[in-house]
Amino acid sequence: MQKLGLHQQQQQKLSPQQIQFIKLLQVPTAELESRVEEELESNPALEEGQNEEVPTAETTSESDSPQEGEQESPTQEEGDQQDEIDIRDYLRDDDYASYKTQSDNGDDEEEDREMPVAGASSLQESLLSQLGYLGLDDRKSAIGRQLIGSIEGDGYIRRPLESIVNDLAFSQGIDTTVAETEAILSLIHGFDPAGIAARDLKECLLLQLQRMDDEKDVDVIVAIRILKECYEEFTRKHYDKILKKLDLDDEQYIRDAIELIIRLNPKPGGDASGGLARTQVIIPDFMLANNNGTLEVALNSRNAPELKISKAYLEMFKAYDKGDKKDKKLKEAVTFVKQKLDAAKWFIDAIRQRQHTLLRTMQAIVEFQHEYFLEGDETKLRPMILKDIAGMIGMDISTVSRVASSKYVQTDFGVFPLKYFFSEGIATDSGEEVSSREVKHIIRELVEAEDKSKPLSDEKLEELLKEKGYNIARRTVAKYREQLQIPVARLRREL
């Protein structure tokens, strides 16, 4: 039996200001400019501008930064429904003027200038151009274009030739065979870059070696034999089996041939795809400088857009204050203006809170990892988790997580993502806790110094680490090795 009843319960919900702040906090510096441009286009009450007085982001207090799960009272409660509007709320535009957080040591115009991008033809354009030089008839040219269109970004054709033949029949009405299609594919194999349009790695490497076979070089001949006759053994680094199978007496032949093979390009399309791929440029969100032992943190100047509330909209609001407040059309116009002014104030305030939160979080990270930032020695990284920084700055863990996501810092020894400085702790024999970064650094050093003819197994690495005082299990060693992108011992073996 269904019943109707009234129940009261408390719920925590994020205000529109908090949601806007959270979204802006996650945005990296590289995307902030486009986000500001979007807001400027959608809100005419928001303008770019610069005042003589330039307050800094330090004016925001800790409580101004909303945290997930915490409710703060909104600045305007049901403002759109109020008949009486205080114009003084909008006359303090100086409080929302532009502000910078980095000293003006350089030329701002120079920083804002975009780097020129060199023009380059795409991989397919280059291949189609080479196809035109062959002087093929229309039928064969169409097959060639279909094959080139099937080449993936790394330079391989992974689609079966049977499927390409079917595509030609259905889409272009060309009745061909696999043999004819393969004959035209062999012509494309002669295009630049070498190894293009291969169907697997083995064919790709062989195509490159065959280009070098004009002078009958011994290393090239042996390398071709290794790929054709001992490809499985080569991928597994079973060099003793290769020697036996090829019936070679001198190991030097195998060593030189394998050295030649590993210098070949496994992705021939990668170098020629400039027209299709864009280079990702990392723009650091923070600048860290070591000034005679004093670590100074600054925000990238791009984090401080110069924004203010439109004076034209303020004048419109003033006109309402002097007009007839009972006029329905005028009230509707003022309601619209007030919404835009509110949105502009909230956005500028969110930008300010973003700057303040970013700076406080980075300063806490520098304080926690002070010894590391002085020298850049990876072994001096302390174990650090999100909770540590959240406790230092008095904010929620989720806020720190959003700051650490997709943010970078420029130091005297490189540009690093903030996530780089967070790591779990490993216990030593002395009871001290060290960062997993330090353990990874030692694993890398052990692998680099190992005898490549007898590489260290994970079990041996575990033993060596325990000798150094690090209590770590073999499975953890394997996990760290994989994170360092170091192959297993068998694949590190060399002659």
- 184: pLDDT confidence band, cut at 50, 70 and 90? very high
**41-98: per-residue pLDDT in tens?**
888 888 887 543 433 333 333 334 444 444 343 444 444 444 444 444 444 433 333 3
pLDDT of res. 104: 36
More confident residue, 293 or 271: 293
- 427: pLDDT confidence band, cut at 50, 70 and 90? low
CA 125 to chain CA mean position, Å = 28
pLDDT of res. 13: 67
pLDDT at 155 over 80: yes
Residue found by looking up tokens 């419109």 in the block: 316
Percent of the chain with pLDDT over 90: 18
Mean pLDDT of 429-436: 65
